[in-house]
Amino acid sequence: MAIDAESCYRRYGPMVLRRCRALLGDEERAVDAMQDVFVQVLVHRERLEDKGLSSLLYRIATNVCLNRLRSRRRRPEDPDAELLNRIASMDVDTDRRADARTLLTRLFVRQQESTRTIAVMHLLDGMTLEEVAHEVGMSVSGVRKRLRGLRAQLQAMEGP
């Protein structure tokens, strides 16, 4: 059953905008990213159900923002450190923030979208493995495996 895109926007728009603000740290870019999220909703509205869309929209918003950060990272006028600091400056403890900064540098370049989302939810948002698994519709062991794969890839990249 198709969703009512307008009521979806009214209900979830504020949540999506807050997510985009938190990741992009810039109101104008956040509004722009939010609009992208709802363009995706419009495109896929025939396949969506107007029920409990928060998890899906949160993931879409995360991916849209990560893609935008990745694009901006390629521009010379946007220093990498500034971008990563914006993400890392979310309310997380220092250890995890440092960890996240290292991981995200690689994530932007190499990781598939779902793994990036999982890593952001776990490392930056502070969600437990169980919470991430619930949100992305995977098993806890599947989430753990993705993160383990990510760490292994990082270690391989960094050498012995």
Partner 1 sequence: MKEPTHTERVPQLLVEQLALGELDPERARDVTARLAAEPGGEARLAALRADDDAI
Residue 40 burial class via C-beta count within 10 angstroms: exposed 0-12, middle 13-18, buried 19 and up = middle
* Binding of partner 1 by 32 (CB under 8 A): no
> Residue with structure tokens 């250890």?
95
Binding mask 39-58 for partner 1 (x = CB under 8 A): -------------x-xx--x
Stretch binding partner 1 (CB under 8 A), from 40-48, 75-83, 109-117, 119-127: 119-127
Does 122 interact with partner 1 (rule: CB under 8 A)? yes
Q: Which residue has the tokens 């928060």?
A: 54
Closer to partner 1 by CB, 13 or 73: give it.
Answer: 13
Q: How many CB atoms lie within 10 A of CB 82?
A: 11
Residues 80-99 that bind partner 1 (CB under 8 A): 91-93, 95-96, 99
**Quick one: angle between helices 27-43 and 54-73, nearest 10?**
130
Smaller CB distance to partner 1: residue 92 or 138?
A: 92
Q: Which of 145, 151, 152, 155 binds partner 1 (CB under 8 A)?
A: 151
Phi then psi for residue 19, to 5 deg, are -65, -45
Contact string 57-76 vs partner 1 (x = CB under 8 A): -x------------------
Least Å from the CB of residue 93 to partner 1: 7
**What is the CA 36 to chain-centroid distance, rounded?**
14
Distance from C-alpha of 79 to C-alpha of 77, rounded to nearest angstrom: 6
* Run of H or E residues at 111: none
- Please say whether the beta carbons of 1 and 15 come within 8 A: no
User: Which lies closer to partner 1 via its Cβ, residue 12 or residue 38?
Assistant: 12
The residues binding partner 1 (CB under 8 A) are 11-15, 17-19, 22, 52, 54-55, 58, 91-93, 95-96, 99, 121-123, 125-129, 131, 135, 151
